[in-house]
């Protein structure tokens, strides 16, 4: 018996890296897991269903239950087929972990429209399509205790050179998380997000992470946070974003300064007055 005994968890992008670690962790906690991965390269090119199949084999070898799917979250039919596969095999869904992602890094002035669209489609559109399909399923099921864990990034929350497409998509996922957490609470579903930093094939060319190695910055550090957020141990935690950098766990928050309620001395704001009072608008 575990935290997720009798429950069904969908993890997208779970053929490698962080997603694979998620799938294995949820299975260890007793869940039946839908392992979804198209099996492409980190830029999204190519297809290989074996990526998901291999993780399913790992779970089954450890005595768990799992199902592999290889349709793309960026495609309407593909996303809905993932949820349908869970319902068809396990007769219910309880948790969705939106983890699928690709990278096509390039400086903004050199970025192509195709590079922009590809990243938006997998990260942001994919998270939307999966969230909508999952929400419709739990609405039909009824009850409560459901959870969604999205994946944002420091690149979307604070920015990072060469990742305008990725950062914009991840910032969008922050907004999606906040709004979905408000809307889906009536369906008995909490929605939170993690912003992980880990050494995987997506980040293997980042020198600092390579130096710290798998032991210090491997995906095994990320999954306990995802499992916790999806579990009953996080009841009441909703609409929040937790950063995970190796063993370090912390929370991100959007903050608002006190600002000024009106123009000092009366009248309307002008560019000159705004410049004059800038220190009063800033965070303290």
Catalytic residues: 166
Quick one: tokens of 113? 């429209």
DSSP summary character for residue 106: B
Cβ burial, residue 112 (10 Å; 0-12/13-18/19+): exposed
Q: Order of strands across the sheet with 189-197?
A: 65-69, 32-36, 8-12, 95-97, 146-151, 189-197, 241-245, 248-252
Quick one: tokens of 252? 């991100």
C-alpha–C-alpha distance, residues 224 and 230, integer Å? 10
C-alpha–C-alpha distance, residues 66 and 226, integer Å? 18
Q: How many CA atoms does the CB half-sphere of 53 hold within 13 Å?
A: 5
C-alpha–C-alpha distance, residues 51 and 105, integer Å? 23
Number of neighbouring beta carbons within 10 Å of residue 139: 14
CB 164 within 8 A of CB 211: no
Quick one: tokens of 3? 């935290």
């Amino acid at each position: 018996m575990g935290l997720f005994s009798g429950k069904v968890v969908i993890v997208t992008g779970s053929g490698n890296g962080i997603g694979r670690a998620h799938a294995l962790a949820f299975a260890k906690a007793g869940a039946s897991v839908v392992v979804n991965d198209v099996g492409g390269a980190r830029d999204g090119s190519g297809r290989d269903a074996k990526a998901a199949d291999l993780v399913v084999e790992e779970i089954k070898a450890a005595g768990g239950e799992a199902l592999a799917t290889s349709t793309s979250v960026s495609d309407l039919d593909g996303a809905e087929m993932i949820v349908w596969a869970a319902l068809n095999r396990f007769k219910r869904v309880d948790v969705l972990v939106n983890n699928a992602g690709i990278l096509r890094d390039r400086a903004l002035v050199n970025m192509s429209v195709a590079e922009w669209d590809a990243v938006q489609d997998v990260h942001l559109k994919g998270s939307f399509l999966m969230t909508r399909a999952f929400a419709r399923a739990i609405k039909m099921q009824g009850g409560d205790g459901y959870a969604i864990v999205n994946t944002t990034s420091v690149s979307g929350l604070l920015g990072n050179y060469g990742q305008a497409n990725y950062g914009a998509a991840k910032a969008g996922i922050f907004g999606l998380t906040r709004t979905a957490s408000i809307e889906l609470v009536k369906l008995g579903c909490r929605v939170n997000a993690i912003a992980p930093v880990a050494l995987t094939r997506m980040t293997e060319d980042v020198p600092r992470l390579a130096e710290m190695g798998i032991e210090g910055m491997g995906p095994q550090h990320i999954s306990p946070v995802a499992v916790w957020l999806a579990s009953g141990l996080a009841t009441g935690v909703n609409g929040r974003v937790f950063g995970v950098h190796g063993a370090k766990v912390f929370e991100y928050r959007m903050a608002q300064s006190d600002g000024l309620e009106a123009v000092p001395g009366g009248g309307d704001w002008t560019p000159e007055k705004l410049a004059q009072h800038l220190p009063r608008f800033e965070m303290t």
